[in-house]
Chains A and B, each alone.
Chain A
Amino acid sequence: MSMDIFLQNVANSITLGSLYALIAIGYTMVYGIIRLINFAHADLLMVAAYIAFYGILIFTLPWYWAFILAIVLTTLLGVSIEKVAYRPLRNSPRISVLISAIGVSFLLQNVAIVVIGARPKPFPRPEQLVWNIKVGEISFLSLTILIPIITFILLILVMFIVKRTKMGIAMRAVSRDFETSSLMSVDVNKVISTTFVIGSALAGVGGIMWSMQYPQVDPLMGLFPGIKCFIAAVMGGIGSIPGAMIGGFVLGICEIMIVAFLPGLSGYRDAFAFVILILILLFRPGGILGESTVEKV
């Protein structure tokens, strides 16, 4: 493989890895706090993309307003979902809330199909953000630099919140020991809502960046990234934010590099993540950075 194609692939994998990392964090935070795989998380990606899409094309907003609106509305949606569909089931058997999550995800996807139509639509990339850069023989999109940088900034922000702020400590306490935290006058509901705020916001940003990188929006666009990002979170150690970051990057890099070196397997590209998942769950369910919990008998 020639150097510039190789570098192109490297660039793509870092970009994809960043996107996966952003979304994986949402999964891992929610799972860490309420032990739920939020199936609806990745559909927020799709919601943000569509809001931005409509903002720019139908309401002719300047791109920055459209993006901000998208992120804000997506965050609100994420928090509302928790309040309406997950909170009432907090004391029910685990299967119930999992079913509810599936229901929400399915609902979001199909509402999108009804309201927007199942046909994919091209996403309007703002010129201010997306342009071509040429370095010697190689040319690549500005996104290749922009996305990792934005991701990096956001990750630092999240780590700061979790490690240094009072809310962050509360979040870690609740994810460690739910019952004791609530006895220690930690407002558990507020903590959970905050977790969803952060996760949903990240999904919102991820959705917008995703549609800039792969400029096509369709109602099911969150489906595969969603599962893969959950797998990334598991790979890094579910419940661990640095783990989700690592998992996201590793998955993104693997996905692109494996197909780059073995083009015959490109049809199986989406299957890689699943195979990795199954291997991890079998041999190292704690993930790379994760911890195992022992059930009290």
Chain B
Amino acid sequence: MKEAVLTTDHISMEFGGLRAVSDLHMQIYPDEIIGLIGPNGAGKTTVFNMITGVYKPVEGQIYFGNQNITGLNPAKITKMGIARTFQNIRLFNSMTVLENVMISKHLRRKTNIVEAILGLPKYNRERQEHYQACMELLKKVQLDDVSHEMATSLPYGKQRRLEIVRALATEPELLLLDEPAAGMNPNESQELMEFITRIKEEFNLTVLMIEHHMEVIMGICKRIYVLDYGVNIAEGSPREIQSDQKVIEAYLGAVDTDA
């Protein structure tokens, strides 16, 4: 059996006495697309925040491959190969599309600031490489024509795509997507599904995805974890989840496409 890319070993999170996540045990294997679903407030984003180091779990450990990443600095975790997007788009609003993506290459730098100030060829070369890599990424997602526009001037759907591309630029092994289809209509969701499948193949990614759009989840996820009030109430293939009584109850029967 292949080694897990990510293991959350019975992790819990508490905020001032309130248990947001209890005893969550998840394992994600290479090349999988895993879904994390649950009603609003179930603690899904908190799980992301624990994995990416924004919060330190009060109990349990998190492993990336065989490395313990519990409570590490988020920037370090990104460097190790986990990237994420956010539920509410967090683009850098004073910068262009291209600049937003270039930021993600900073962590892969091999030069220092003095070399930058002096304008040494070593720095210029690295900068050029980063530039090319970012433009290629943008081309792959058809955002290259707007590369010099302000990131926040893009329409909503493109902004979401930009967020994903920005995360991709950090060269991750594991990609965490937080509600990538939020606010999209069925057509756009369909495109998103194809998009995610495509980038997974092309960049050799493992994907963990939070979503409310059930057709997206059911469509591309291999396995799904269901969270309710911070507790994992079910786990399994899309078909298993769809017929799971506890899941249905948790959603109060609203297991259909979201608006």
A-to-B contact residues, CB < 8 Å: 294, 297
Contacts and interface: CB of A to CB of B under 8 A. Distances in A.
Nearest to B45: A297
B54 interface: yes
A294 B86 CA distance: 17
B49 A294 contact: no
B36 to A, nearest CB: 16
B54 A297 contact: yes
A297 B88 CA distance: 9
A297 B51 CA distance: 13
Contacts of A294: 15
Interface residues of B, number: 5
Interface residues of chain B: helix, strand, loop or mixed (majority): mixed
Contacts of B54: 297
A132 to B, nearest CB: 52
B79 to A, nearest CB: 19
Nearest to A295: B54
Contacts of B15: 294
Interface in B85-133: 86
Interface string B22-49: 0000000000000000000000010001
5 contacts: A294-B15, A297-B45, A297-B49, A297-B54, A297-B86
Contacts of A297: 45, 49, 54, 86
Nearest to A291: B16
A147 B94 CA distance: 52
Nearest to B49: A297
Nearest to B48: A297
Nearest to B178: A297
A297 B49 CA distance: 8
A297 B47 CA distance: 11
A86 B86 CA distance: 32
A297 B45 CA distance: 8
4 interchain residue pairs of minimum CB distance: A297-B54, A297-B49, A294-B15, A297-B45
B134 to A, nearest CB: 25
A250 B45 CA distance: 42
A297 B15 CA distance: 13
A294 B45 CA distance: 14
A173 B86 CA distance: 29
A91 to B, nearest CB: 15
A297 B46 CA distance: 8
Interface string B60-93: 0000000000000000000000000010000000
A297 B86 CA distance: 8
Interface in B2-21: 15
Nearest to B86: A297
B231 to A, nearest CB: 21
A35 B235 CA distance: 43
A294 B15 CA distance: 8
